[in-house]
Structure 1
């Protein structure tokens, strides 16, 4: 077995775990190693495995809804398909924070969601498929060998909500509908592969639950807990740099910036803020489910409490931004909430990266660089 490519997450570990007194004679913090195996097990069994199971089940519902719509197109069946699309966005927004392990193999992450789409390269490919009615895109077997940009949630959103989508219900088994169904079938395959990979008792879940010298992924408890904290840190970074920053600039040169709502993920379907809200919920849930607090020394438990306070604030306020994103950006009250989210997302990143990392024995240089 090979070591999972954690460095491909886009973060680099700059810290070392201190094992002795520093030059000032101060004994550095150390991780509560006795708590690590239970924390890793709780992360896997309490968050990761249930997350992939729900994702798989919802992709199956999406596939069923898309095929039913193709056979009997109507406003009702289209509405049902769009509701299931909203649901799959939520399920993916929960588990996408775990950007490690099997989801990195075979471009599974990008096959499920290609974002950010710099220079609209993926959008143009989807538009070309629709314009030329490329029949190879309506077969899951040929679709999955195409560009990752045309086979995931971004492509499906455009098919259901983009230019020309108003005519999708006019023709039984029309091209646009069959393309949507092929995307849904493709998502079922990806989600099933991920679920099965994490369900194997001697597979990746064993690597996470049993750190040790013979483990191909985590040679010791310190490596394991560093990677788990990295999931949280990188998840917050992704929200900050890939989900919020492209569309919202806040105050620029003393003037409220109009923003770029069409750079926001899921803006067409109105799922921008619901997805962000779910991202924050997922990060808090993983923090709680894994019992990250148990890793801290007894005199540093307040570090977890302070992080929890920010988690809860972000979950609450992100739900309160309830206008379409293009309207929220120009609404004074909603902008104030977006400003709050930007400020506190950065605060949360510091609390996890520096405060929590330092409290469990990572040196002051502990950091994860930004990445895709």
Structure 2
């Protein structure tokens, strides 16, 4: 057994996939159950709780505004944004229905549509935007966390404590309550025993999502591959195009609240937690344990590197050392994609040529 493990490690170092094994359906079923029960359901429950707190604190600010309460709202926003970042990596299922994903967070916003629409609302107040139910039917760009951040960190935030129940604050409260409603829906839907969680846990011919365990596990691997690509391409490359490319600090998500790096770190923490709590390692067989170690190392290394970075200001992005750190993170993420997409998928027997990656 030691010889086999050593061989697996050598093959990984050489960039060669370890030998594949037939997918153990009993193990695969347990992995999917753990993914749902120990990551997805708790993730949406936590997001629901933090969104509810954000709405409650915002309501207090509107009713009795002062600087201390504004600070509490800003702290609640940061918590909500990070909790969403941990679970948003699961870009499958109910979150993609009814535009829920974009309604929680409209990003990337390459043409600053959201900011322009929010500015237009502030210039010409529309009371419909202060009603969460009516707001939910409007542009996705004005009803989620991006719009909330602009209101409470970017556009004259001190104006929020100038008077009670201002339009500015009531609109922000409607956003918070709208996000809370979406979070509550996702929490409820994933908690229904006969709903989507059953589809994930019990694949079969009558299952609308997954006909067998191989399809279910393939979807879970896809969450990891696309999640890492999402962090690299839509989070980091949004503001850093490479050492010879443009640097766009104001294109970074949550740059106004200095939450860019904490949220990216939360994305990676979510991926790492999903990998571990679902016990993806168990799918790989004893001889391929080094492959699981390598994936966990990439996740941990990338997250720790992100946590050490200051917000991506113009000065930071012009600094060569800062650029090198970003390039190291991107390299690590690229390595994680290759390991999961090629080695993990191949090892559990998904077949030659099988790939989730979008390419570089």
The CA deviation string for residues 214-237 of structure 1, in whole angstroms up to 9 with x for no partner, is 222111000000001111111011
8 A contact 1:29–1:362 mirrored in 2: no
- The structure 1 residue matched to 2:278, chosen from 282, 290, 300, is 290
- The structure 2 residue matched to 1:304, chosen from 292, 297, 302, is 292
Counterpart-to-counterpart distance in 1, 2:207 and 2:279: 23
The CA deviation string for residues 6-25 of structure 1, in whole angstroms up to 9 with x for no partner, is xxxxxxxxxxxxxxxxxxxx
Counterpart-to-counterpart distance in 1, 2:194 and 2:281: 28
1:328, CA displacement in angstroms?
Answer: 2.9
Counterpart-to-counterpart distance in 2, 1:113 and 1:218: 28
- 1:119 partner SS: coil
For this pair of structures, how many residues does the alignment match? 341
Give the TM-score normalised by the residue count of structure 1. Answer: 0.88
Counterpart-to-counterpart distance in 2, 1:166 and 1:201: 46
8 A contact 1:281–1:315 mirrored in 2: yes
- Aligned twin of 1:337: 325
8 A contact 2:38–2:278 mirrored in 1: yes
Q: How do 1:161-172 and structure 2 match up within 5 A? A: 161-172=153-164
1:58, CA displacement in angstroms?
Answer: 0.7
Q: Report whether the alignment pairs 1:224 with 2:229.
A: no
8 A contact 2:29–2:201 mirrored in 1: yes
The CA deviation string for residues 135-185 of structure 1, in whole angstroms up to 9 with x for no partner, is 111111110100111100011011112233332211111111000000001
| Superposition RMSD in Å | 1.6
Q: How do 1:151-170 and structure 2 match up within 5 A? A: 151-170=143-162
Give the TM-score normalised by the residue count of structure 2. Answer: 0.91
Q: Which runs of 5+ in 1 are unaligned?
A: 1-26
Q: Report whether the alignment pairs 1:133 with 2:119.
A: no
The CA deviation string for residues 270-325 of structure 1, in whole angstroms up to 9 with x for no partner, is 00000001111110000001000111133222211111111111121111113454
- Aligned twin of 1:102: 94
1:345, CA displacement in angstroms?
Answer: 1.0
Counterpart-to-counterpart distance in 1, 2:20 and 2:104: 42
The CA deviation string for residues 338-362 of structure 1, in whole angstroms up to 9 with x for no partner, is 1211111111111111111111112
- Aligned twin of 1:251: 243
- The structure 1 residue matched to 2:189, chosen from 186, 193, 197, is 197
The runs of at least 4 aligned residues of structure 1 exceeding 4 Å deviation read none
1:93, CA displacement in angstroms?
Answer: 0.5
1:369, CA displacement in angstroms?
Answer: 5.0
The CA deviation string for residues 97-128 of structure 1, in whole angstroms up to 9 with x for no partner, is 01111101111111101111121122211111
- Aligned twin of 1:276: 264
- Aligned twin of 1:366: 354
Change (3 A) 1:128 1:49: same
1:366, CA displacement in angstroms?
Answer: 2.0
- Aligned twin of 1:46: 38
